[in-house]
């Protein structure tokens, strides 16, 4: 799904999300009702993580102190930044800093809190922990089964948010890959982190990223410990849990309500606001001065551990990434071009099959009425002898093409070398896991 399509979805769906802070609080299990307040109304739009962890409770304190009202429109990061840039919102919430784009150049990103990125799965999943390297390799498509990381024999179903500009996804990929727009091997894409969480709640094999504040108190999800450290406020505060990030409020200095918006940002530094933040498992930004000091060395250490490095060049696609995910950020990379060719080939085959089906349905009379004088005059591989048809089919990459697993092969490497997805290989061969054995014959085309 492209960034443009994601933004169009944002416009279509976000209307259902417009609420004032008291209304949003009423629908949130931890929130308390706020008294009506006088003053200007500010529109806040952004990611759900920042809505739950920062803005909701603080907005109630803001209103209680008589500053005005906050209309919350929680959806995702891209929609919030777009709205502030175009003037349809006064404030945005973001789990990432500005990305250096022209759109972000005229906006102000102010860090207001610290939160933890958490790798989540359903609470019934028995996995007890992962290393940073394992998390990296799962997202990159090198690890596909929970048994490869000490869990049960079941596929890892990777979930991600469709927009590469989503704050939570962007921040995690920056930490693990050195670039926020790195494609990942996630066949299941969602419009925001809330929908992603709902998907994983229903799937014991689900895997994705959220924030500690956003899943706090959700008994259906669990945060997987990383490098032996659980995600907790204490472990984030001392930096021992490695996946911590700042949360930002975004403002537009040229907005008509710029002064009022900045007043709300400044309010985050007051004690009532800090007390509201602490209720949601986030640290006020000023409380994490040590985290800011160690941020650079922490990022370098993570990249060294996973074998990556920071880069601003076009990223190389993850082996299991869908064509849409590759094309969104790396349209001319070799992996994307190969995936496009494979996709075109499959589409052409489907179109031909549909055409042949249509032609056959137009034949009048029964099969017995069709007279064939000689098979030699029938065009195409269907009428050829068995051996000849098999040879033609294999050479053209048709539906009967198979591959014999060699020593050292993995399902991921086989998928990459034949320009197909790992999920397709599993489906075509009815595999319950990603384990393959030397000598095993795999179908590598559609049935």
CATH number at residue 410: 3.10.350.10
Which residue range(s) make up the domain with 325? 116-243+296-329
Are 177 and 234 part of one and the same domain? yes
Residues 356 and 314 in one domain: no
Q: What is the largest CA-CA distance in the chain?
A: 92
The per-residue pLDDT for range 404-447, each reduced to its tens digit, is 888 778 887 787 778 777 777 877 888 877 788 888 888 887 65
Check whether residue 163 and residue 218 sit in a common domain.
yes
Q: 205 and 96: one domain?
A: no
Percent of the chain with pLDDT over 70: 70
- Per the model's pLDDT, the better-predicted residue between 197 and 357 turns out to be 197
My answer on whether 347 and 287 are in the same domain is no
**228 with 259, same domain?**
no
Same structural domain, 120 and 232: yes
* Mean pLDDT estimate for the chain: 77
- Element of type H or E holding 111: strand 108-122
Distance, in Å, from the CA atom of 417 to the CA atom of 420, rounded to the nearest integer, reads 8
Structure tokens given for 278: 């602490």
Model pLDDT for residues 114-152, shown as the tens digit of each residue: 999 999 999 999 999 999 999 999 999 999 999 999 999
Q: What confidence tens digit (pLDDT) does each residue in 249-271 have?
A: 999 999 999 999 999 999 999 99
Q: Angle formed by the axes of helices 289-306 and 167-177, to 10°?
A: 60
Q: Could you tell me if 132 and 229 are in contact, meaning their C-beta atoms sit under 8 angstroms apart?
A: no
The answer on 239 and 124 residing in a single domain is yes
Same domain, 308 and 431: no
Asked whether residue 130 falls in the same domain as residue 221, the answer is yes
| Residue 441 φ/ψ, nearest 5 degrees | -95, 125
Domain boundary among 235, 269, 293: 293
pLDDT at 317 > cutoff 80:
no
Residue 328 has pLDDT above 60, yes or no: no
What pLDDT, on a 0 to 100 scale, did the predictor assign at position 10?
Answer: 41
* pLDDT for position 33: 42
> What pLDDT shows up at residue 299?
94
* pTM of the model as a whole: 0.66
Q: Mean pLDDT throughout 18-42?
A: 52
* Residue 67, token pair as written in the block: 């500053």
Please indicate, yes or no, whether residues 284 and 355 belong to a single structural domain of this protein: no
133 and 237 in a single domain? The answer is: yes
Confidence of residue 357 (pLDDT cuts 50, 70, 90): low
How far is Cα 234 from Cα 232, in angstroms, rounded to an integer? 5
Per-range mean pLDDT, top range of 37-51, 117-131, 348-362: 117-131
Using the predicted structure, report yes or no on whether residue 341 has a pLDDT greater than 80: no
Tell me, what's the pLDDT at 433? 75
User: Hey, CA dihedral for 330, 334, 337, 338, is it positive or negative?
Assistant: negative
Scan for tokens 């099959």, then name that residue.
353
Instruction: Domain count for the chain, please give it.
Output: 3
Report the pLDDT value the prediction gives residue 375, as an integer from 0 to 100: 32
Q: What is the reported pLDDT for 29?
A: 45
Q: Are 138 and 158 in contact (CB under 8 A)?
A: yes
CA-to-CA distance for 209 and 191, rounded, in angstroms?
13
Q: Name the strand (E) or helix (H) holding 286.
A: none
Predicted confidence (pLDDT) at residue 72 exceeds the cutoff of 80: yes
Q: pLDDT at position 444, please?
A: 83
Can you say whether the dihedral through the CA atoms of 95, 101, 107, 111 is positive or negative?
Answer: positive
* Exposure b/e, 369-379, CB count within 10 A at least 16 = b: eeeeeeeeeee
Is the pLDDT reported for residue 359 higher than 90? no
Is the pLDDT assigned to residue 324 strictly greater than 60? no
Q: How many CA atoms lie within 13 A of 263 on its CB side?
A: 16
Which domain CATH number covers 38?
3.40.190.10
Residues 148-175 have a mean pLDDT of: 91
């Amino acid at each position: 799904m492209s960034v443009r399509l994601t933004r169009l979805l944002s416009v279509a769906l976000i209307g259902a999300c417009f609420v004032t802070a008291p209304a949003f609080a009423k629908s949130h299990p931890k929130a308390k009702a706020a008294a009506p307040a006088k003053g200007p109304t500010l529109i806040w739009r952004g990611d759900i993580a920042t809505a739950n962890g920062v803005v909701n409770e603080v907005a109630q304190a803001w209103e209680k102190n008589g500053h005005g009202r906050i209309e919350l429109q929680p959806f995702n990061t891209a929609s919030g930044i777009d709205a502030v840039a175009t003037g349809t919102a006064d404030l945005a919430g973001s789990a990432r800093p500005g990305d250096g784009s022209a759109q972000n150049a005229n906006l102000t990103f102010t860090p207001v809190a610290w939160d933890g990125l958490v790798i989540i799965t359903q609470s019934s999943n028995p996995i007890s922990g992962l290393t940073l390297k394992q998390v990296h390799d799962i997202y990159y498509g090198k690890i596909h089964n929970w048994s490869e990381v000490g869990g049960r024999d079941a596929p890892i179903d990777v979930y991600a948010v469709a927009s590469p500009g989503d704050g939570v996804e962007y921040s995690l990929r920056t930490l693990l890959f050195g670039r926020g727009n790195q494609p990942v091997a996630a066949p299941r894409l969602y419009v925001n982190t809330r929908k992603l969480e709902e998907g994983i709640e229903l799937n014991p094999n689900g895997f994705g990223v959220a924030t500690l504040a956003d899943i706090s108190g959700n008994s259906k999800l669990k945060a997987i410990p990383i490098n032996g450290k659980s995600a907790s406020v204490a472990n984030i505060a001392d930096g021992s849990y490695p996946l911590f990030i700042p949360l930002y409020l975004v403002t537009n200095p040229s907005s008509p309500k710029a002064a009022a918006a900045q007043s709300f940002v400044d309010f985050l530094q007051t004690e009532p606001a800090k007390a509201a933040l602490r209720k949601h498992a986030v640290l006020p930004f000023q409380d994490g001065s040590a985290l800011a000091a160690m941020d650079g060395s922490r990022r370098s250490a993570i990249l060294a551990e996973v074998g990556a490095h920071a880069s601003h060049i076009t990223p190389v696609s993850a082996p299991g990434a869908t064509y849409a995910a590759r094309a969104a950020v790396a349209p001319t990379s070799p992996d994307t071009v190969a995936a496009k060719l494979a996709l075109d080939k499959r589409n052409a085959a489907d179109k031909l099959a549909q055409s042949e089906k249509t032609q056959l349905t137009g034949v009048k009379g029964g099969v017995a009425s069709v007279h064939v004088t000689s098979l030699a005059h029938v065009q195409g591989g269907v009428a050829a002898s068995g051996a000849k048809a098999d040879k033609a089919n294999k050479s053209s990459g048709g539906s009967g093409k198979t591959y014999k697993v060699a020593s050292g092969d993995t399902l991921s490497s086989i998928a990459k070398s034949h320009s197909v997805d790992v999920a397709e290989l599993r489906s075509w061969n009815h595999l319950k896991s990603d384990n393959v054995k030397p000598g095993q014959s795999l179908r590598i085309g559609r049935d």
